[in-house]
Structure 1
Amino acid sequence: MTPLAWIIAMSFAGGLLSVVVAAGFAWAARPHWVPTLISYAIGALLGAAFLEVLPHAIEAAESPERAAMNILAGILLFFVLEKLVLWRHCHDEGCHGHGHAAGEDHRDHGHGHDHGRSGLLILVGDTFHNFVDGVLIAAAFVESTPLGIVTALAIIAHEIPQEVGDFLILLHSGYSRTKALVFNLLSSLATLVGGMLAYFALSHMESLVPVFLALAAASMIYVAVADLIPGLHKRTELRATAQQVLLIAAGIASIVLAHPLAERALG
């Protein structure tokens, strides 16, 4: 398969898979599944960022210092973007928290006091996020197919628990299950759009590949550390902590195993 074929397949399948699985979990209404997905997603994100994407970003950059600057700039960028989304969401809602963890505080905001006002913001923010995911997938596949596969799988792993939270917000914002599913599916197409646009742009601007790889690493690190890990700290009992550690380790192990498996599958 060509890099473009891989980008189309992984972007489309990834967006569709994350939405369908999220809808299934949301409809099943079993919240104890979500923390399990989040713990595994943290491991997959950190494993992909530090073991796969970062080495390629440093190797492709002019210097390690330039790669580090790009990553730091990316983390700051995602912080500002999330602040803007949170400000827009809380401006009308009167929020008094200090952030949220995907799949957990999302659900808290969705219960009881939403009155339909956050649904549109969630869809807009999710569409932008999906577009960026497509750009990151394309950048990784332009660098190498195994890296693209690992990056796409890591993005899918963290999208599922986030989509669960977003889906629940739409349900509690007054959307019917059918409308919530349809709007989420339409939003997921932004991954495919971002991937294709990025591929044709990156094919003529190879100098941007190191920047997008750095942004991919920054996105994975930021989502894992800023959005997902704080939610795990709400459960302090020993059994829950041990389960979280094991699932994070399983996520990292899946990334470690995915790279050689992908290389063998590709010959």
Structure 2
Amino acid sequence: MMDWVGQWTPVQQALLGTLFTWALTALGAAMVFFFKSINKTVLNGMLGFAAGVMIAASFWSLLAPGIAMAEELDQTAWLTAAVGFVAGGAFLFLVDKLLPHLHMGLARNQAEGIKTHWQRSVLLVLAITLHNIPEGLAVGVAFGAAAAGSASGATVASAVALAIGIGLQNFPEGAAVSVPLRREGFTRRKAFLFGQASGIVEPVAGVLGAFAVLTVRPILPYALAFAAGAMIYVVVEELIPEAQREEGGSKTDVATIGAMLGFTVMMVLDVALG
């Protein structure tokens, strides 16, 4: 499989990888054709799993290779990692404050970002789309790093592992968008279309990320740390709070267990394949 993927250019690899993650989002959204609601405890576990995957990917697939690559380029590795990481979080912070969006389970008047009269459904999809940006960027940058041909540990195999991990956690996210929309009165078809649409941004961000780091190689360590910072921001600002929102020990325990499982799965994927 790796030989076949290796025949593609890094930008093509990034596009292929992010189309895969988008496809998993669409597959998850297709659950709306079978279910009209998602048990809150199950949803907590899904969100926790997604958080665990993103935390593990941030270190093994992004930060660690970025630090090693910074050292190869004679940069001050800790400073490069810190600057890139903080910049990634700051970017998501600004987007979060500007882009109108609404988190699941909240009333329309609790929407964040610039005030608009957009429909609740659009705001719900934008909330998921917001955190798909760093996921797509991470996959694209990972394939770009693999093309650099350094000894940093960034390989096509590790980039593929990252795409698989992101795809796995995109499946429950797709369902977490489409099924609640169905419960709010949308037709199954319309709920599915909205659910899969939240993943469209990933191929765009992935291709842009791969192209950028291939064009200016010295920014690659910063880009890897940037993607890691953006993903951690999403985990702390959105996924964990949503997974822990419901009171009750058993429900939040499921989210915690989901996060542990997600972290383990992503760690195994990266170490075994990378």
TM range (shorter): 0.7 to 0.9
Cα distance in 1 for partners of 2:134, 2:254 equals 31
Cα distance in 1 for partners of 2:263, 2:201 equals 27
Cα distance in 1 for partners of 2:125, 2:256 equals 32
Distance 1:177 1:107, change over 3 A: farther
Residue of 67, 82, 87 corresponding to 1:73: 87
1:44 aligns to what? 53
1:219 aligns to what? 230
1:156 aligns to what? 167
**Pairwise CA distance, 1:8:** 2.8
RMSD (CA atoms): 3.2
Residue of 3, 9, 13 corresponding to 2:16: 9
Contact 1:26-1:167 within 8 A present in 2 as well: no
Count of residue correspondences: 245
Contact 2:53-2:265 within 8 A present in 1 as well: yes
TM norm structure 1: 0.76
Secondary structure at the counterpart of residue 34 of structure 1: helix
Cα distance in 2 for partners of 1:259, 1:89 equals 32
**Pairwise CA distance, 1:106:** 1.0
Residues 138-181 of structure 1, C-alpha deviation per residue, up to 9 Å, x if partnerless? 11112222331233234334434443343356546764321332
Residues 54-78 of structure 1, C-alpha deviation per residue, up to 9 Å, x if partnerless? 1112222322112102211211221
Contact 2:59-2:228 within 8 A present in 1 as well: yes
Distance 1:209 1:194, change over 3 A: same
Contact 1:41-1:248 within 8 A present in 2 as well: yes
Instruction: Give the letter for the 2:201 counterpart.
Output: A
Distance 1:164 1:26, change over 3 A: farther
Instruction: Give the letter for the 2:143 counterpart.
Output: F
**Pairwise CA distance, 1:52:** 3.2
Task: Decide which moves more: 153-162 or 206-215.
Answer: 153-162
Distance 1:116 1:232, change over 3 A: same
1:205 aligns to what? 216
Residue of 152, 157, 160 corresponding to 1:146: 157
Cα distance in 2 for partners of 1:241, 1:175 equals 29
Residue of 104, 113, 119 corresponding to 1:106: 104
2:120 aligns to what? 118
TM norm structure 2: 0.74
Task: Decide which moves more: 119-128 or 197-206.
Answer: 119-128
Cα distance in 2 for partners of 1:240, 1:174 equals 26
Instruction: Give the letter for the 1:134 counterpart.
Output: G
**Pairwise CA distance, 1:5:** 4.6
Contact 2:44-2:254 within 8 A present in 1 as well: no
Contact 1:26-1:164 within 8 A present in 2 as well: no
**Pairwise CA distance, 1:15:** 0.2
Distance 1:169 1:83, change over 3 A: farther
Structure 1 gap ranges (5+) = 91-104
Structure 2 gap ranges (5+) = 109-116, 146-154
Equivalence map 1:155-194=2 (5 Å): 155-168=166-179, 170-171=181-182, 175-186=186-197, 188-194=199-205
1:18 aligns to what? 25
